[in-house]
Amino acid sequence: MENTVVQLALAVITVMVPVVIAALFYYLKEAIGTEKLRRFAAELEAKQTLAKIALQFVEQAYKDLDGPAKYEKVVAWMSERARAAGINLTTDEIKGLIKAAIQEMGDSFQKEWQQLLID
């Protein structure tokens, strides 16, 4: 009888261990995926904020420049600040973030900025 109980307990453990390991693996996989998504969202928000700050800075610091020249200043300023902060951005990403920021902040900017959205 005692031997049967031990064998039954071993059988239950043999079945339960893979189930517990599979559940733990699934949980860790979900947690890691969620964390990656959270980091991605935070990084995107930082990039968007940097684009808005770049626009505001150039708008104030380079009032005498026209739209395309200001745009190039924004790209250069944002690229430099992103590099200094350890944020990797391609030129296309920078331009996309700036255009999105122009569109979002469009009402507060001059018509020259709005023209850049058409290009």
pTM, to two decimals:
0.65
Q: What is the pLDDT of residue 115?
A: 58
- Domain total in the chain: 1
Q: What's 77's DSSP letter?
A: H
Range of the domain at 112: 2-118
Nearest by Cα to 57 from 109, 7, 11: 109
Structure tokens at 99: 């255009």
Report the pLDDT value the prediction gives residue 114, as an integer from 0 to 100: 58
Phi-psi sector, 86: left (phi>0), alpha (psi -120 to 50), beta: left
pLDDT confidence band for 111 (50 / 70 / 90)? low
For residue 113, give the nearest of 78, 76, 63 by alpha carbon.
63
pLDDT of residue 41: 84
Mind listing the pLDDT tens digit for each residue in 64-105?
A: 887 788 888 989 999 998 889 888 888 888 888 888 888 877
> Any idea which residue has 């684009």 for tokens?
51
For residue 83, what are the contacts with CB-CB under 8 A and spacing of at least 6? none
Q: Any residues with CB less than 8 A from the CB of 113 and at least 6 apart, and which?
A: 55, 67, 70, 71, 102, 106
**pLDDT, greater one: 117 or 45:** 45
* pLDDT at 113 (0 to 100): 61
Q: What is the pLDDT of residue 14?
A: 74
Checking if the pLDDT of 37 tops 70, the result is yes
pLDDT bracket for residue 31 (50, 70, 90):
confident
> What is the DSSP code (8-state) at residue 113?
H
